[in-house]
C-alpha cells in the first residue's frame, strides 16, 4: 500500500535559524517558506532528489506542534511521510485494521497541494505517520 518515502519532518522552534544551519552546515538548498494555517505550521523543504526533509515551525500558540516543541525545546523528528496512490482506500484499509486516523478522519490539503492524513503514533511504533496521495 505505501509507496516511496516522501519526506521526514523535523519540528524546529525557529525556522529561520534552522534554515541557516542547514544551508551553512550542509549546503542545503531550501525552498521558500509556506504558511499553512489549516495545519498550524510554517514549513520549508530541502529536496534531496529521492526524498525531502521538511522543517516545520509552530504557527501561533495553538499550533498542532506547539506541544511537541514545548516537550522538545531544541526540536526533533516530528513525523515521516509515505506516498499512497489512493488516500481514501488507504484510510479505509487502515481503519479496518484498527489504525487511528487523527483529526476528523478526512484528508486535508498538505504543503504539496495534495490530500494528506496523519496516523496515530501509538499505532506505528511511536512514530507519527503522514500519508500523502500522489
Query: Which sequence positions are flagged as catalytic?
Result: 130
SS3 66: helix
Residue with cell 496515530: 120
Residue with cell 520549508: 44
Identify which of 27, 29, 26, 58 has the alpha carbon closest to the alpha carbon of residue 41.
58
Query: Half-sphere exposure (CA, 13 Å, Cβ side) for 46?
Result: 19
The H-or-E segment that residue 18 falls in is helix 15-26
- DSSP string over 29-44: -BPPPEEETTTTEEEE
Amino acid at each position: 500500500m505505501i509507496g516511496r518515502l516522501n519526506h521526514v519532518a523535523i519540528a524546529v522552534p525557529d525556522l529561520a535559524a534552522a534554515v541557516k544551519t542547514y544551508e551553512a552546515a550542509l549546503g542545503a538548498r531550501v525552498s521558500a517558506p509556506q504558511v499553512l494555517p489549516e495545519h498550524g505550521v510554517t514549513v520549508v523543504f530541502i529536496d534531496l532528489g529521492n526524498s525531502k526533509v521538511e522543517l516545520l515551525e509552530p504557527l501561533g500558540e495553538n499550533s498542532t506542534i506547539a506541544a511537541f516543541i514545548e516537550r522538545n525545546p531544541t526540536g526533533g523528528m516530528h513525523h515521516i511521510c509515505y506516498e499512497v496512490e489512493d488516500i481514501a482506500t488507504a484510510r479505509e484499509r487502515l481503519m479496518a485494521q484498527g489504525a487511528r486516523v487523527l483529526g476528523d478522519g478526512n484528508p486535508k490539503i498538505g504543503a504539496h497541494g495534495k490530500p494528506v492524513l496523519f496516523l496515530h503514533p501509538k499505532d506505528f511504533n511511536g512514530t507519527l505517520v503522514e500519508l500523502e496521495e500522489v
